[in-house]
Structure 1
């Protein structure tokens, strides 16, 4: 069972990364496979949060429902941002209008994140909230790291484990 969860976590995070960076979430309403992937990812996040957080089942489900809403809105806003970036790159539209729209989407992304954290704090005690914030930041970094590895391939370590920085 533990091996299955590890496989699902690895595959699920890879799929999440693909959805995030490839824009496959754009047709999520029309594609049952994307919805199946989202459910798998929800399961992974639920399992990870259950393992990492000391919360009651009720609180755990409430937190994950908040995260579902947050992530769905983030996908929608990132999709808007990508479309605006394409319009900017091809020079389509009034520059002032494009800038206003772009800044509005950035503000919406920020507001969505603040709203998610506010809702979490309403459901949890201060100690639980802090525990959650640490967990979620770590979880997001893990997803982002795997996204980079999928896009670029794993980075090879230099002998001695030191990374060389380039100017």
Structure 2
């Protein structure tokens, strides 16, 4: 688990970096629900040469992964994003993001299960995610939920936006 910040809470930047490094992924991204149906990027860790998604304003509401997680799924695992959907908008988004494989975990409130955000682990190449890798991403999402449940990133002074 990540180092604690000066406030005794997990350091989310360290968590994202540690998760990306342990999984050998190209990008790890935290998107927080904004209350209007959007999921802006509030944190990320990037491998060498990987583009940031911080300024991405894509509407993700109709995308298959977001639909699944909004519908109650805990995690979506995609060894090859091209194999899960023939939706041209989804495939174009994945090309723009440089994603061929991903694990996306729901970040949910401890009471009521409200979707607080999305934790995405991206890879630029197709890959089979192991059960251990998926569990590690799921555990990281639970840690993030414990932090966002108390104080959303977007509400913090000097925010992560």
TM-score, length-normalised on structure 2? 0.28
Higher helix share: 1
Q: Which has the higher contact order (CA 8 A, sep 6+)?
A: 1
Structure whose alpha-carbon radius of gyration is higher: 1
TM-score, length-normalised on structure 1? 0.28
Higher strand share: 2
